[in-house]
Structure 1
Amino acid sequence: MLRFTARATVARFVAAALALGLGAAAVSLPPAPAQADEHGRLTFTEENDGLLPDGRDRHYTQGAMITFLSPSVRPEDVTTRLFDGVASVLPIFQSGAGTQRKFAVTVGQTIFTPTRTHDAVPDPTDRPFAGYLFTGGSLMQDTGGTLLETLEVLGGVVGPDSLARQAQEAFHAVAGFNNQNLDQGYRYQLRNEPGFLVTYERKWRLWQTHVAGFEAEVIPEAGLTAGNVMTYAAAGATVRFGQNLGVDYGMERIRPAAGGSAWFDAARLEHDIGWSLFASLQGRAVAHNIFLDGNSVVNSRSVEKNIGVGDVSAGASVFYRDWAKFDVSFTERSKEFRTQQGADHFGQASLAVRF
């Protein structure tokens, strides 16, 4: 059974979300004309335990990602052949009336540390230092604004070549934090290993209602991820309230995570301004996690992972047309390994701009 601790930080995030949403709702919303979705988008995503008032380096301590989302793929584009090729061998991306396709390119880095980062010899019962530097791409298809399919392939490196130590030390130096013994602790990090992930995910806009100019909806999700970095099955749902919800499926997140996607469809804009308050829940059955299980071939530090892991998230989003979109959220993550002391929590922020 997954357990989550209640924290005063949640109240702060909820209050900030309400202020963001109500402030957007107070703005006059003249109808926006329908437009072809002919622009790409760049999304900058940051996940960090330091984004919270009581934040400190612990476990999943940092994630950064940049994603380029393409304009709508045209039938004559080469990418259409790739979609159709996948559809010919797998029961996904079936074309038909109301389908829209895009692709995305991603580059990012995630960093993991034990609780006591300044020990010259890290606690062997805590999760090891580790980093993952990755890039990749995804195919995304929306069907009628009610179903989003994503097939994503990521590749990169786990270990010293991920530059996790350098990134953390540079951030600490800029922020004025203590780097004492951090380089010594990283001597015990996971060894260099190529890291790959393949993910297929579906999101359904299962239920939506309009009341007094506002919208509410429920978006269930399910997916499978396989690779030497992580292998797990996930299921969850996002509940949203706001205006102009039909343009996306929620805030983009770094996997594994509850809810969200880089998808944005400007052709579904009903007003110039959109906003939402949201809450997400995701449960995962984890078969493999290199950041806990250790390297695949060479010996490295490891801890005994929990098979069942869950995330609870809450936050807010606001955007102006397809020009810019800003999201903030808070996540509470249940214990990922047997000897872990307490659940983890971290904040997320993302900014998407038309490109």
Structure 2
Amino acid sequence: MTRSFVTRLRRLGLGSGLLGLAAAGALTNPAAATPLQDPYGTWTLQGENDAVSTLKGTSDQYYTSGLRIGWTSGTDNQPPAISNLNRLIWGDGVQRIAFGLQQSIFTPRGTQLDPPNPLDRPYAGVLLATANLISDTDTTRSVIGVQAGVLGSYAGGYQVQNGFHSLIGDTPNRGWSYQLPNQPILQLQASRTWRFPVVDAYGISVDLLPSATAAGGDFRTYAQLGGTVRIGQGLNSDFGTPRISPGLDGTDAYKATRPFAWYAFAGLDGQAVAYDATLQGSTFRSGEPHVSKIWDVGEFEGGLALLYHGVRLAYTQTWQTEEFNGQKGGLFSFGSVVLSAKF
């Protein structure tokens, strides 16, 4: 993969996000109707890994693993103080609250080097608890939330990765003793996704989902613009599939609008990254492993979602441009599998 192609993809990701956001802004209607109520809570399990790929498996490198469990409430059944806060931020809409716990693991490309290559991505584990307020209309989904946790050995990256390698009889990664040191993480984030119906004919629908996201804190500070195109049935069931942030994230919230719904999708986003602790090292120390981040990161993703009687199963394949100077291998690829069920 040539650098010129990767550069074009970055520019395409940023440009498509800007165009999508502009189109959505022109179509936003503050008086948009609120959707039907959904009384059921939703449990979600998600896994992301660089070895899960529609192209080929890869050895551990870069963003090598993500695990997440989450719970999302039904609509409009939060305590009054939470409901009032959500309405104060986003205005009228159908409201939910969501909680989750996620772990992300990052390694260099050369995992058998001891010590690791100082010009490669440092070893890092991140463990975060999340809380989000979600507000929906028929045409928008708005999310604001906080993440709190730890980066470093307390996040358990070494134990999870090498423990799994031991379980399957694989070679352990040798450089975890050089991982980034412990530091507390506090992160604020907000996003809005717009739904723009395009076609509805012969039982098949097409829509566009432009989105804008911003996050700040001592984990990753960035702004993101992007959009997704979907084709299928029952597209009003959700606002796209979830991702372990960053990325195009439709969240875990959905509702069963028909016994069986499905859609195929493709999306593109561009991220302007001001700070990334897993690349640049601790906020509070100097002299530890770090690399020079690239400020503009582009992603392309595609996949399939199936919804059947309150259960949603989705697969997403993501291709990502380089995140730091000296990153090898061209576009980096990883897969995401997510299963949600309502109770």
TM-score band, normalised by the shorter chain? 0.7 to 0.9
**Distance apart, 1:260 and its partner CA:** 2.4
Match of 2:147 in 1: 154
| 1:309 aligns with one of 297, 309, 312 | 297
Letter in 2 for 1:81: A
Letter in 2 for 1:128: P
Alignment pair present for 1:178 and 2:191: no
8 Å contact from structure 1 (residues 258, 312) kept in 2 = no
Q: For the residues of structure 2 that align with 1:217 and 1:196, how far apart are their CA atoms? A: 35
Alignment pair present for 1:84 and 2:84: yes
**Distance apart, 1:328 and its partner CA:** 0.7
Q: For the residues of structure 2 that align with 1:303 and 1:35, how far apart are their CA atoms? A: 48
- Deviation track 1:56-94 (CA, whole Å, cap 9, x = no partner) reads 1010000011110101124xx41x422423554xxx310
Could you list the runs of 5+ residues in structure 2 that have no partner in the other structure? 8-34
Q: For the residues of structure 2 that align with 1:165 and 1:177, how far apart are their CA atoms? A: 14
Match of 2:23 in 1: none
**Distance apart, 1:258 and its partner CA:** 2.2
Alignment coverage as a number of residue pairs: 310
Q: For the residues of structure 2 that align with 1:35 and 1:204, how far apart are their CA atoms? A: 17
| 2:230 aligns with one of 240, 243, 246 | 240
- Deviation track 1:189-217 (CA, whole Å, cap 9, x = no partner) reads 11000012111000000233201100100
- Deviation track 1:300-333 (CA, whole Å, cap 9, x = no partner) reads 21000000001100000101121x1110111000
Give aligned-pair identity as a percent.
Answer: 31
Letter in 2 for 1:93: W
* Counterparts of residues 45-56 of structure 1 (less than 5 Å): 45-52=46-53, 53-56=56-59
Cα pair distance change 1:279/1:141, threshold 3 Å: same
Match of 1:38 in 2: 39
**RMSD (CA atoms):** 1.8
**TM-score w.r.t. structure 2 length?**
0.87
8 Å contact from structure 1 (residues 280, 313) kept in 2 = yes
Match of 2:342 in 1: 354
**TM-score w.r.t. structure 1 length?**
0.84
Cα pair distance change 1:309/1:265, threshold 3 Å: same
Match of 2:118 in 1: 124
8 Å contact from structure 2 (residues 63, 106) kept in 1 = yes
Partner SS, residue 74 of structure 2: coil
Match of 1:11 in 2: none
Letter in 1 for 2:283: S
* Counterparts of residues 130-145 of structure 1 (less than 5 Å): 130-143=124-137, 145=138
Letter in 2 for 1:166: Q
Match of 2:100 in 1: 106
* Counterparts of residues 284-323 of structure 1 (less than 5 Å): 284-299=271-286, 300-322=288-310
| 1:337 aligns with one of 313, 321, 324 | 324
| 1:94 aligns with one of 91, 94, 104 | 91
8 Å contact from structure 1 (residues 109, 162) kept in 2 = yes
Letter in 1 for 2:118: P
Q: For the residues of structure 1 that align with 2:70 and 2:171, how far apart are their CA atoms? A: 31
Letter in 2 for 1:157: V
